């Protein structure tokens, strides 16, 4: 998300070099980090759907880079933000569950 926001800002300022670098970073994160981390055999339908979202996002960011268009960047940001928030929520819940109990009866 940070790389996409940076790309959008660079595009608005007309800084094509920063825009290209930021979009390349966002694409690498989607392809190598998120798509690369999916286990399609064990992840079932969820993993397949996430793979489709990530692939679509890469296509849209590539288009944004080629056309110097901020609309696909905004679209991908709106797709990825809820997923990112869900992962943060899950991580927070898991961390809370692993905290040792304190107080009476603990």
Count how many residues are written for the chain.
Answer: 106
Kindly list the domain boundaries of the chain, sorted by start residue. 2-84
Question: pTM of this prediction?
Answer: 0.81
CA angle 16/20/23 to nearest 5° reads: 135
| Tokens coding 87 | 């992962």
- What pLDDT sits at residue 19? 98
More confident residue, 97 or 105: 97
H or E stretch covering 76? helix 71-98
Q: Which CATH class is domain 2-84?
A: mainly alpha
- What pLDDT sits at residue 105? 56
Q: Alpha-carbon distance 7 to 39, whole Å?
A: 29
- For the segment 15-61, what is each residue's pLDDT rounded down to a tens digit? 999 999 999 999 999 999 999 999 999 999 999 999 999 999 999 99
């Amino acid at each position: 998300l940070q790389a996409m926001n940076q790309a959008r800002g660079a595009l608005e300022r007309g800084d094509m070099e920063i825009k290209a670098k930021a979009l390349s970073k966002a694409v690498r994160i989607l392809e190598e980090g998120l798509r690369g981390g999916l286990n399609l055999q064990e992840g079932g339908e969820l993993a397949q759907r996430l793979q489709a979202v990530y692939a679509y996002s890469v296509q849209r960011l590539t288009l944004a880079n080629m056309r110097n268009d901020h609309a696909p960047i905004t679209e991908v940001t709106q797709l990825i933000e809820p997923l990112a928030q869900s992962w943060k929520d899950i991580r927070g819940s898991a961390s809370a569950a692993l905290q040792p109990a304190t107080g009476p009866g603990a």
